[in-house]
Amino acid sequence: MITAHPLFVLFFIAGAIAFFIGIALRFSLYWRARPDWRAFIKGVASNLFSVKIWPLIQVVVLDAFLQRKLFRQDKLRWLMKVLIMVGYPSIIITGHLKVEVMPQFEGFSHLLKFFYAPFVDSYFFRDVATPSLGVRDALFGFLFDLFGAMILTAEFIAIYRRFVARANPFRSSMGDIVAVNLLGGWFILRFICEATAILTYSLPASVARYWFVSFALSKIIAPLGLPWSSLNYPLWSLAGLFLGTLVGSIPYNDKLWHILTIPFVMFINLMPQEAFQPGIKEAPLPLSLKDLIALDSCVKCGSCVEVCPVYAQSKELESTAGGLYKDFRSFVRKTYGLPGMLFHSNRTAEKMPKGLSDNAYLCTLCSRCREVCPSLINTRDLRVSTREFMVETGCSPQWVGRLGDSVTTSYNISGDNNEDRLIWSENLERIPEGVKGKEKAEVVFFVGCVPSFYPQVYRVPQSMVRIMEWAEVDFATLGGKEWCCGFPLIVAGVGKSVQELASHNVGAVRKMGAKRLVTACPSCFHTWKVDYPRIIGEPLGFEVRHSTELLADLISDGKVRLGQFPHLVTYHDPCDLGRSSGIYDPPRRIIQAIPGVTLIEMAQNRENALCCGGGGDLEMVDSDLVSAIAARKIQMALDTGAEIIVTACPQCKRTLMSAARQEKARMRVLDIVELVARIMEE
């Protein structure tokens, strides 16, 4: 019979109170980014009551519990995470199941049982009457120690990795050290407490052996001959203090807090963007709730650093995802959280730390970090949101404003007269019908700014129209009516300026009566397919395809036949086509359909492909950095022994061509459309 609450339970309760105060503080910042609740609830429902529930379940099992991303990167770290992800919830559930069936807690409210659950064994050991246990109690005992052992093993791996192997490129903060020690320290104490209790109550081996870790520990410490019965209660109280401190620290410690945010990150990744539109007209914080939760989920584990092409050249941690989020999060909390609200420190531009804005733009948006982030953060979206924040607060670099003005007035990225959009066609011996003057067509070929205005890649649209004409595709271009898709503005953080571009372009295609839009530019493709329906607020009414998808179909349907091409080629996966749009196979099918060709994959390909350096507007920030990244890619291609790099992106082609020239590499760079046009049998 429990007549008074022991100290260990009181410590836990105190910790819980601190926890809720901390939650309120955290939520004071989240509240400032509260969404429109109707849109939010609709977004939640769209996840739960649709086919999206299946990918969500897969993510929960494969990524949250089984940590498949980590398995590919680092087996020891994977083991550590899986032990925690399985061990912690399991021991909590086991404790709560046991407290429900123990007679000592009969009559307790569920709330009170919650606070006693971690300490059930202190009562079980005290009151166990028989020298043998039933199956249920034996199982509980065994599982407690099994899950506890898993967590402790994870703790030792964490200590080894962080302090011995120094596997994390980010320095450990005090918060990191506290979190690691609290998470594991509570369990070390718990085992000691159980061992002490075994000795205090002289439990027979037939009972104690199920708590196999504590039992072994009791055997080790028994010869010390300490006054176990006097130590029992103080030790449990110390354990309670540790647990109370652990729980109370969760909202104040980024490493602990992310344990709570990760389930939400998984969920919100699948919700539509519109679900997070601001709920108040003049949102005080130019970030969404989704952004804040994602920011809070980063624990600077360093996975992003290992794969970052910018970091590989610059060695500056501050521009990696983890480095940027650490600094940005700290700034956002100080400026917009409770201190900001209390001391009116909303003077963002003045308070922006030096270099933070520049670091936000030192990224190609290749999304390699998103592929490996164990916290499942959509790092690409968060980087763009960070840039939008810089723009909204007037802290973005000057070139962003100039880019926005240029594109929204000249409707292209090169500043040319937009009526000259067909300049790429002027060197053609014969201009196919469909390139200009056609008012209706089944397929609109959206050329894109880079192939339209940058001569290094004129051959891409030249080849595309030749192929479509040969295959009798009923196509047309928009000519001077084609405006920039807006991708450079979206990724620069000026997405709000794209509305007019999107409306115009969609209207122009609809006026053509087209059933399909095809583009050879992956960035345009992604913008049309993913961003435009969101921006215009309705489905497009026509299909959007990348050139590789169309060409793969034309080849497999026999409408385009390919001649011999006995060369060794390798394929570069453009980031906006591969990782961002999931298109890996159509280009490979095309290459493998070419008679005589041998395709050799680069060491890192598909989801792991190394960026060429040409994306994310990085060229506007640091062209030398772009060249350095591209040079690395060229070397990777050279290592395959291939004579030719084939890609499916005009911007990648430009970037790689420049790098091949600079590196004096004996390697040609071709867009896959050019290759097909070159060898198709006419």
Partner 1 sequence: MNIGKYEFSDELYYDKNHGWALVEGNTVTQGVSEFAQKISKEIVYVEVPRVGRTVEQGKTFMSMESGKWVGRIAAMVSGKIVEANEELEWDVAPINEDPFGEGWLAKIEASDLGELDNLFQASDAEFQAFIESEIEKYKDILEEA
Residues that bind partner 1 (CB under 8 A): 414, 416, 420, 423, 426-429, 453-456, 458, 619-620, 623, 654, 657-658, 661
Closest to partner 1 by CB, 266 or 422: 422
Closest to partner 1 by CB, 300 or 653: 653
| CA-closest candidate to residue 659, choices 621, 619, 626 | 626
d(CA 449, CA 415): 10
Q: Under a CB-based contact definition with an 8 Å cutoff, are residues 308 and 320 in contact?
A: yes
Q: Under a CB-based contact definition with an 8 Å cutoff, are residues 129 and 207 in contact?
A: no
Smallest gap from residue 496 Cβ to partner 1 (A): 24
Smallest gap from residue 623 Cβ to partner 1 (A): 6
Smallest gap from residue 515 Cβ to partner 1 (A): 33
Token representation of residue 68: 């498949």
Token representation of residue 388: 């939008």
Closest to partner 1 by CB, 306 or 663: 663
Smallest gap from residue 682 Cβ to partner 1 (A): 18
Closest to partner 1 by CB, 100 or 663: 663
Smallest gap from residue 661 Cβ to partner 1 (A): 7
Closest to partner 1 by CB, 176 or 619: 619
The DSSP annotation for 37-100 comes to HHHHHHHHHHHHTSTTHHHHHHIIIIIIIS-HHHHHH-HHHHHHHHHHHHHHHHHHHHHHHHHH
Smallest gap from residue 629 Cβ to partner 1 (A): 15
d(CA 70, CA 304): 12
Closest to partner 1 by CB, 130 or 623: 623
Smallest gap from residue 451 Cβ to partner 1 (A): 12
| CA-closest candidate to residue 254, choices 370, 322, 169, 176 | 176
Closest to partner 1 by CB, 119 or 453: 453
| 585 Cβ contact list (under 8 Å, min separation 6) | none
Helices in 374-521 by DSSP H: which ranges?
379-392, 398-410, 449-453, 459-470, 487-492, 498-512
CB atoms within 10 A of CB 324: 24
Closest to partner 1 by CB, 332 or 626: 626
Smallest gap from residue 355 Cβ to partner 1 (A): 23
Q: What are phi and psi of 84, to 5 degrees?
A: -70, -45
d(CA 60, CA 71): 15
Smallest gap from residue 84 Cβ to partner 1 (A): 47
Smallest gap from residue 566 Cβ to partner 1 (A): 22
d(CA 197, CA 192): 9
Smallest gap from residue 280 Cβ to partner 1 (A): 40
Q: Under a CB-based contact definition with an 8 Å cutoff, are residues 647 and 669 in contact?
A: yes
Q: What are phi and psi of 529, to 5 degrees?
A: -75, -40
What SS3 state is found at 602?
coil
Closest to partner 1 by CB, 564 or 662: 662
Closest to partner 1 by CB, 230 or 417: 417
Closest to partner 1 by CB, 187 or 453: 453
Smallest gap from residue 662 Cβ to partner 1 (A): 9
| CA-closest candidate to residue 228, choices 206, 254, 195 | 195
| Measured CA distances, 531 to 66, 451, 481, 503, 525 (Å) | 32, 21, 20, 12, 10
| 654 Cβ contact list (under 8 Å, min separation 6) | 450, 454, 456, 457, 614
Closest to partner 1 by CB, 235 or 611: 611
Handedness of CA 673, 677, 680, 682 (dihedral sign): positive
d(CA 169, CA 154): 20
Smallest gap from residue 525 Cβ to partner 1 (A): 22
d(CA 546, CA 264): 33
Closest to partner 1 by CB, 282 or 624: 624
